[in-house]
């Protein structure tokens, strides 16, 4: 799921636990530390110890130079990946549990990129639109030379593991039925694949192959005991004390001298002292605050409410006694509460330097009204470093790249949209629509019955009975304007493509008045494609793939369209 996948490092700019991926300016551990601070360098060393074991030590910078380095001036996000494939710079893509031929905006670029690959590997529960992109209606498979390999994966119900919700709660999920036919759990597939890769490289003398040869992989046999295998991965994420072998109890036990290892510092404590905290199901809620401290485990350190020190005044007393989370207990000489106090040292009182840092994960130790570059220096070295977002220290409103109106907040700028946004990146495939040709605003999202690409939900018959096909919601006023009744087919078009779909005329959609002009907004789900038990046109052939300048998030919620009766 989203939270746990980002925790584990799915984003191109981060390693697991949100440690920055080394770039061309970080060719040594010392340089990486200078840019990211000693606070995070400690956790990177522990990650390297988890990956490389005894081979990683202070004398060789914990094998930092065995890590791949990316060009920090490049955008290596999912969207740019397919643009590079079109250019011939990306030859192979391995897609696991995702369906970009459905979920990316501007699907034409995805399709062209997939057609230009040498090899595509897809690991999923069902053969989805990405795995079968060469079957897309209107395409001739004989013209497509991409080799496609499909790895049948087990459903999440058919394997054990963890799921982490957006409040960072890690919950153990028990295995249900056995996987069907030839499908296997993701961890089984990855284990077999990795062991074959190691076998291929075992005799290599090329220094760059040391990354593969030196990596540890001591989780056991996933076929003999899948639960033990997954739990061994969890233990490595939790971390060990390499002096006595005990599983670390919390972040406070992590050291930076090579005597501990922790694959994911934020998870340290989830298996503390050998207790599988994610399996806990305690129902106690002593403060009636909805904390339930003994139900599963929340990273970091089972702190449910981050920065809860800020709920107290300068003397450590709750600002709202009737909603007390934590407090300074004078009698005990420590911070206490219904939640785990979010302080560096629970014995440091509210008037000590440590007790006066309610936002301790910020370099400044305090909250921020705006983002400023800041270095927290400790013993002559940067302990933590804060950066300014690409588009400035304060949030500022801009119109979307495609908008029905002018930007009233920033008149006179070079563009109506955020000037830090790079768009178009591929001009011939990313033309910007204008309101004279495309007068309506399209918003998209999922349905209750169908989620994301529909790979799972559109293969469940009773969900298809509830909602059997996609549709577009339009207001009664727009329906009257274009001569459409409920159930009529309409053509929806943008500069990127066009689809035909049924109209749902509803009071739920209402015209907006924007800068004094009546503007119609329409909505449709994006969950349909050409595979599965229920098929239909994909709304993401219409959506725009403009990306925000900081984290490369696509602009799904607004683009210009035209709607015409067929």
Asked if residue 523 and residue 478 are part of one domain, the reply reads yes
Check whether the bond before 300 is cis (ω within 30° of 0). Answer: yes
Task: Report if residue 207 sits inside a domain.
Answer: no
Look at residue 414 in the predicted model and tell me its pLDDT. 67
Task: Report if residue 454 sits inside a domain.
Answer: yes
145-161 pLDDT per residue, tens: 999 999 999 999 999 99
Asked if residue 85 and residue 66 are part of one domain, the reply reads no
Sequence-distant (≥ 6) Cβ neighbours of residue 515 within 8 angstroms: 405, 406, 408
Domain hosting residue 320, numbered range: 306-388
Any idea what the CATH number is for the domain that residue 508 is in?
A: 2.40.40.20
Asked if residue 502 and residue 434 are part of one domain, the reply reads yes
88-121 pLDDT per residue, tens: 999 999 999 999 999 999 999 999 999 999 999 9
Rounded to an integer, what distance in angstroms lies between the CA atom of residue 243 and that of residue 265? 18
**Opening angle at CA 353, ends 351 and 359, nearest 5:** 100
Asked if residue 432 and residue 558 are part of one domain, the reply reads yes
Asked if residue 96 and residue 159 are part of one domain, the reply reads yes
Whether the CB-CB separation of 49 and 66 falls below 8 Å is answered with: no
Whether the CB-CB separation of 385 and 32 falls below 8 Å is answered with: no
Is residue 524 scored above 70 in pLDDT?
A: yes
Lowest pLDDT segment from 137-141, 254-258, 548-552: 548-552
Task: Report if residue 33 sits inside a domain.
Answer: yes
Asked if residue 439 and residue 362 are part of one domain, the reply reads no
- Helix, strand, or coil (residue 432): coil
Structure tokens at 93: 């893509």
336-358 pLDDT per residue, tens: 999 999 998 999 999 998 899 99
Return the biggest CA–CA distance within the chain: 79
Any idea what the CATH number is for the domain that residue 135 is in?
A: 3.40.50.740
Q: Which percentage of the chain shows pLDDT scores above 70?
A: 100
CA-closest candidate to residue 440, choices 565, 566, 559:
559
Which pLDDT band holds residue 383 (cuts at 50, 70, 90)? confident
CA-closest candidate to residue 392, choices 365, 410, 376, 375:
410
Average pLDDT over the chain reads 95
Task: Report if residue 320 sits inside a domain.
Answer: yes
121-133 pLDDT per residue, tens: 999 999 999 999 9
Query: If DSSP states are collapsed to H, E and C, what string results for 52-96?
Result: HHHHCCHHHHHHHHHCCCECCCCCCCHHHHHHHHHHCCCCEEEEE
Whether the CB-CB separation of 69 and 24 falls below 8 Å is answered with: yes
Rounded to an integer, what distance in angstroms lies between the CA atom of residue 460 and that of residue 284? 37
Asked if residue 351 and residue 260 are part of one domain, the reply reads no
Sign of CA dihedral 148, 151, 152, 153: negative
11 or 488, which is more confident?
488
Task: Report if residue 8 sits inside a domain.
Answer: yes
Asked if residue 551 and residue 434 are part of one domain, the reply reads yes
Asked if residue 312 and residue 237 are part of one domain, the reply reads no
Asked if residue 476 and residue 511 are part of one domain, the reply reads yes
Asked if residue 240 and residue 179 are part of one domain, the reply reads no
Helices (H), 418-513: 461-466, 476-482
Asked if residue 68 and residue 140 are part of one domain, the reply reads no
Is residue 381 scored above 90 in pLDDT?
A: no
Q: How many domains does the chain have?
A: 4
Rounded to an integer, what distance in angstroms lies between the CA atom of residue 71 and that of residue 61? 21
Burial class (CB in 10 A: 0-12, 13-18, 19+), 437: exposed
DSSP state of 47: H
């Amino acid at each position: 799921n989203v939270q746990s996948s980002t925790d584990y490092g799915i984003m191109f700019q981060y390693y697991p636990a949100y440690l920055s991926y080394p770039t061309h300016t970080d060719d040594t551990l010392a340089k990486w530390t200078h840019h990211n601070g000693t606070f995070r360098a400690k956790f990177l060393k522990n990650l390297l110890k988890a990956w490389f074991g005894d081979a990683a030590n202070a004398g060789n910078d914990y094998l930092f130079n065995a890590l791949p380095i990316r060009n920090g001036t490049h955008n290596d996000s999912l969207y740019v990946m397919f643009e590079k494939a079109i250019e011939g710079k990306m030859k192979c893509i391995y897609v696991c549990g995702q369906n970009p031929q459905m979920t990316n905006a501007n699907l034409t670029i995805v399709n062209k990129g997939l057609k230009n690959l040498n090899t595509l590997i897809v690991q999923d529960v069902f053969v989805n639109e990405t795995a079968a992109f060469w079957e897309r209606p209107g395409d001739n498979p004989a013209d497509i030379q991409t080799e496609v390999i499909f790895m049948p994966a087990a459903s999440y119900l058919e394997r054990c593991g963890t799921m982490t919700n957006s409040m960072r709660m890690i919950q153990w999920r028990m295995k249900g039925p056995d996987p069907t036919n030839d499908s296997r759990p993701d961890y089984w597939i990855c284990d077999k694949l990795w062991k074959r890769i190691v076998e291929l490289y075992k005799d290599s003398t090329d220094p760059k192959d040391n990354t593969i040869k030196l990596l540890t992989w001591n989780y056991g046999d996933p076929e003999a005991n899948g639960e033990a295998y997954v739990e061994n991965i969890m233990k490595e994420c939790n971390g060990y004390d390499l002096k006595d072998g005990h599983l670390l109890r919390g972040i406070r036990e992590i050291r930076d001298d090579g005597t501990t290892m922790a694959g994911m510092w934020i998870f340290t404590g989830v298996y503390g002292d050998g207790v599988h905290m994610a399996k806990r199901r305690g129902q106690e809620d002593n403060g009636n605050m909805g904390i339930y401290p003994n139900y599963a485990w929340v990273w970091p350190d089972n702190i449910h409410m981050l920065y809860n020190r800020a709920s107290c005044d300068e003397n450590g007393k709750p600002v709202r006694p009737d909603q007390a989370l934590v407090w300074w207990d004078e009698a005990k000489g420590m911070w206490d509460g219904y939640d785990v106090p979010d302080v560096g040292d629970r014995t440091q009182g509210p008037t000590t330097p440590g007790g006066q840092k309610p936002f301790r994960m910020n370099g400044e130790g305090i909250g921020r009204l705006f983002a400023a570059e800041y270095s927290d220096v400790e013993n002559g070295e940067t302990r933590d470093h804060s950066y300014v977002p690409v588009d400035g220290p304060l949030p500022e409103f801009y119109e979307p790249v495609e908008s029905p109106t002018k930007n009233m907040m920033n008149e006179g700028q070079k563009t109506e949209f955020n000037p830090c946004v790079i768009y178009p990146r591929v001009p011939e495939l990313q033309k910007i629509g204008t309101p004279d040709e495309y007068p309506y605003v399209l918003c998209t999202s999922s349905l209750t019955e169908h989620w994301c690409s529909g790979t799972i939900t559109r293969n469940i018959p009773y969900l298809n009975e509830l909602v059997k096909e996609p549709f577009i919601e339009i207001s009664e006023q727009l329906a009257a304007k274009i001569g459409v009744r409920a159930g009529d087919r309409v053509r929806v078009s943008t500069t990127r493509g066009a689809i035909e779909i049924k109209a749902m005329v509803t009071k739920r959609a209402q015209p907006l008045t924007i800068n004094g002009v009546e503007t119609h907004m329409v909505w449709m789900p994006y969950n349909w494609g050409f595979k599965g038990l229920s098929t239909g046109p994909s709304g993401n052939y219409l959506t725009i793939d403009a990306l925000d300048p900081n984290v490369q998030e696509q602009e799904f919620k607004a683009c210009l369209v035209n709607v015409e009766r067929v």
